[in-house]
């Protein structure tokens, strides 16, 4: 689609977010009248960054029909810029919802719904041999209808099978599984750990070690005591769920993941 046609198709409005590769705008698809999110990326950048963008677009295309994942409508060239049109989450991220709650803690009756919906997304991803690698409150969005969506696939990895391994140190440190922080091989079970930290984050208002800087957390996670929720941090069921997710032994996590169908 030419630059002229892009501007005929979409009306760009206010900035609603910013990532490492560009800004995200609220926009209107003039053909349908539907509100959309427009991620606009400058392609006049390093080759490895362009490769990362191509990787993200390829994954979004593959995930068009995935449940509880932000819907991808297409990408369009605008000179040296790429416009990626996606579903707009009018409710914002779970992180923004936490900021609006007392002590940044989400009530458990809402937490369990959010976790259930993220589990549905992960079940699809993992059966497709995809590791998200960055599950956290900022990457879980809520639509105006209340639908929960997993977003940001910029650092997701496509494996040859759901039993394949990776050894790349990538993700956001506070949510990182020990085997990832330790640069060991890991698989889809790394997402299960991050899911547990995400649940912990919603229950406590922040992830473990939130007072430490990223590089300190990366060094600490492989040797630190496994985080856990204490009595008073939620129901027994929630505390057990977090405990199930935060097993430091990946082989044990895989057994749990299989039982949870994630």
Tell which phi-psi region holds residue 228, choosing left (phi > 0), alpha (psi between -120 and 50) or beta: beta
CB-CB contact of 162 with 125 (8 Å): no
Over 60: is that where the pLDDT of 60 sits? yes
Average pLDDT over residues 9-19: 89
pLDDT confidence of 50, banded at 50, 70, 90?
Answer: confident
Residue at a domain's end among 34, 55, 87: 87
Query: Domain containing 234 — which CATH number?
Result: 1.10.510.10
CB-CB contact of 121 with 68 (8 Å): yes
Over 80: is that where the pLDDT of 158 sits? no
> What pLDDT is attached to residue 139?
93
Judgement on whether residues 112 and 235 belong to the same structural domain of the protein: yes
Judgement on whether residues 100 and 8 belong to the same structural domain of the protein: no
Judgement on whether residues 172 and 243 belong to the same structural domain of the protein: yes
Over 60: is that where the pLDDT of 149 sits? yes
Q: Round to whole Å and give the CA distance between 106 and 90.
A: 18
Judgement on whether residues 160 and 188 belong to the same structural domain of the protein: yes
> What pLDDT is attached to residue 207?
98
With tokens 């707009």, the residue in question is: 88
Residue at a domain's end among 87, 109, 134: 87
> What pLDDT is attached to residue 17?
84
> What pLDDT is attached to residue 161?
46
How far from 210 is each of 131, 197, 199, 230, 239, CA to CA, in Å?
24, 12, 15, 17, 19
Q: Round to whole Å and give the CA distance between 128 and 126.
A: 5
Judgement on whether residues 44 and 106 belong to the same structural domain of the protein: no
Q: Which domain holds residue 69?
A: 3-87
> What pLDDT is attached to residue 229?
97
CB atoms within 10 A of CB 245: 25
pLDDT in tens, 228-245: 999 999 999 999 999 999
Judgement on whether residues 75 and 164 belong to the same structural domain of the protein: no
Judgement on whether residues 133 and 192 belong to the same structural domain of the protein: yes
CB-CB contact of 126 with 118 (8 Å): no
The candidate with the shortest Cα–Cα distance to 126, out of 189, 52, 70, is 189
Q: Could you confirm whether 134 is annotated as catalytic?
A: yes
Judgement on whether residues 141 and 251 belong to the same structural domain of the protein: yes
Could you give the number of structural domains in the chain?
A: 2
pLDDT in tens, 99-138: 999 999 999 999 999 999 999 999 999 999 999 989 999 9
Tokens of 189: 């079970």
Judgement on whether residues 122 and 153 belong to the same structural domain of the protein: yes
> How does strand 72-78 pair with strand 81-87?
antiparallel
**Active site residue: 48, 78, 103, 134, which one?**
134
Q: Round to whole Å and give the CA distance between 95 and 113.
A: 15
> What pLDDT is attached to residue 259?
58
Query: Domain containing 29 — which CATH number?
Result: 3.30.200.20
Q: Round to whole Å and give the CA distance between 152 and 117.
A: 16
Which residues partner with 24 through β-bridges?
17, 39
Q: What is the 3-state secondary structure (H, E, C) of the chain?
A: CCHHHHHHHEEEEEEEEEECCEEEEEEEECCCCEEEEEEEEECCCCHHHHHHHHHHHHHHHHCCCCCCECCEEEEEEECCEEEEEEECCCCCEHHHHHHCCHHHCCCHHHHHHHHHHHHHHHHHHHHCCEECCCCCHHHEEECCCCCEEECCCCCCEECCCCCCCECCCCCCHHHCCHHHHCCCCECCHHHHHHHHHHHHHHHHCCCCCCCCCHHHHHHHCCCCCCCCCCCCCCCHHHHHHHHHHCCCCHHHHHHHHHHHCC
Judgement on whether residues 25 and 128 belong to the same structural domain of the protein: no
Average pLDDT of the residues of the chain = 86
pLDDT confidence of 255, banded at 50, 70, 90?
Answer: low
Average pLDDT over residues 142-164: 74
Judgement on whether residues 83 and 106 belong to the same structural domain of the protein: no
Residue at a domain's end among 26, 55, 87: 87
Judgement on whether residues 113 and 219 belong to the same structural domain of the protein: yes
């Amino acid at each position: 689609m030419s630059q002229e046609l892009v501007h005929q198709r979409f009306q760009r409005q206010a900035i609603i977010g910013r990532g490492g590769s560009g800004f995200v705008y609220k926009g209107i698809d003039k053909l349908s009248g539907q509100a959309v999110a427009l991620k606009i990326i400058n392609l006049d950048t390093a080759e490895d960054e362009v490769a990362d963008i191509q990787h993200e677009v390829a994954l979004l295309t593959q995930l068009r029909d995935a449940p509880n994942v932000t819907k991808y409508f297409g990408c369009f060239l605008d000179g040296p810029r790429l416009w990626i049109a996606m579903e707009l989450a009018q409710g914002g991220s779970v992180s923004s919802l936490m900021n609006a709650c007392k002590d940044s803690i989400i009530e458990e009756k809402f937490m369990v719904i959010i976790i259930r919906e993220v589990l549905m997304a992960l079940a699809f991803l993992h059966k497709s041999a995809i590791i998200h690698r960055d599950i956290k409150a900022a990457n879980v969005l809520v639509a105006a209808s209340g639908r929960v969506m997993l977003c940001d696939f910029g650092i997701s990895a496509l494996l040859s099978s759901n039993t394949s391994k990776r050894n790349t140190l990538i993700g956001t440190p506070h949510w990182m599984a020990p085997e990832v922080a330790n640069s060991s091989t890991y698989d889809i079970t790394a997402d299960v750990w991050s899911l547990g930290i995400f649940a912990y984050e919603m229950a406590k208002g922040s992830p473990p070690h939130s007072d430490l800087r990223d590089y300190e957390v990366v060094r600490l996670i492989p040797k630190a005591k496994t985080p856990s929720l204490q009595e008073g941090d939620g129901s027994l069921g929630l505390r057990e769920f977090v405990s199930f997710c935060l097993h430091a032994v990946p082989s044990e996590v895989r057994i749990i993941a299989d039982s949870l169908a994630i």
